[in-house]
Structure 1
């Protein structure tokens, strides 16, 4: 089946506390989002890659591509006000049937192995979403405070989340814009089964300065 990748990097990165959005910050010699794009290009050099960016930073991206000699083919898509809007714009640009991988642009440490496993499962089952078991105790907010819940019943969800293009397009066209934080929850809202596979601890999402330091440390270990 044809493979497509949508790299979502349309956020403002407010929690990072920097003027430049987090996806453009340098991580071990390369902007964060470039590392995410590179992972998918290394997995499949022929796949079509769409990169969702804030429209006001298109020029910034162009300058970064020149500065870092970044030449991996990709198509830029303007981000919307919400993640739902951003991904919806990109999904509609996918031509033909195949598998669409939606990946957070600020998960730059995703491995080729995880991408491969996600595509393999999605090709057989129609979808694949990486997730990890929770190792810490968790509590749930209630009307009367909080209560303890069994952590074995929950997972932390990662990306890439991969779906058949027909299913994902249907979901985005028919869903009411809501507080969907990922594609799995949107597809799930239509009663469509979502297949979970084992994720990776190193596949962290960079949202604050500490995450960037952790990512730098992980990359330093890779060099040893």
Structure 2
């Protein structure tokens, strides 16, 4: 097995989903461009070129409103599963392991191994930061994408209102608008439903060979066991 083949095999999950992301993003841009121009023509305006559309607030808000909901899901899931449990689910920790766990269990400080990340063996702020780095990064991306959504959203909202000869609103006014919260909450509710469904359905249903499922023959009450 050559180096390239080995790299592709060892990173196939990220590569497959990353490629899928890029393809669907391009598809969204193409279909969004067509829909946007249809609306412009309906309003008696000239259509935009594809590259011009990619720089519009409409495209930006459509992309970022989905990103922020996805990273909210990951952020809540990463932090929530520290303390919250679901009996029988492989998505949950074992029932007696709620909390941040001991240094020995987490292999930090004096319990770090020779192959542990360097900051895991540190006893100061580096270990504290690194031990929460996944959730922190998810929170930062969520906050950034939600802020970007709000900025692009108010621009798109005002552009539409100006075409209808209505007065624009400020960013703070937009944050309290029905348009902003409708865009936001319709994504949040679907993400939270998906997480809750995965947690409870994985108690009783199986997918052979998947680490997101328990072994096919595992008892329904087995918790924190992956296939």
* TM-score, normalised relative to structure 1: 0.19
Q: Could you say which structure has the larger radius of gyration?
A: 2
Between structures 1 and 2, the one with greater strand share: 1
* TM-score, normalised relative to structure 2: 0.18
Between structures 1 and 2, the one with greater helix share: 2
